[in-house]
Amino acid sequence: MVAVLPSSIRDQLRDDLVAVPVDDAEPTTLVLAWPEHATSPALAAFVRAAAAVADRATDHGG
C-alpha cells in the first residue's frame, strides 16, 4: 500500500510503517470550507482541530 502524507506526520507513524520523502513533490494546499450559516458545535470543533493541525504542519515545514 502507498499513501501520500504530509511531512508533518512523519514522526507520528507506527513502527511498522515507513515514510519515504518525495523530494520533488509540489507543495499542496488544503482548503476547509463549510456553509456560511452553519453553527454546529461539531463543525466548530472540527475547524479548531484542523487549524491546530495546520499550525503544527507549518511549524514542521509540512
For residue range 2-53, what is the model confidence (pLDDT) as tens digits? 888 888 788 889 999 988 988 898 887 878 899 999 999 999 999 999 999 8
Please state, in angstroms and rounded to a whole number, the distance separating the CA atoms of residues 42 and 48.
10
- For the chain, give every domain's residue range: 7-59
Higher pLDDT, 59 or 52: 52
**Quick one: pLDDT at residue 58?**
63
Please state, in angstroms and rounded to a whole number, the distance separating the CA atoms of residues 41 and 45.
6
**Quick one: pLDDT at residue 59?**
60
- Reply yes or no on whether the pLDDT at 1 is more than 90: no
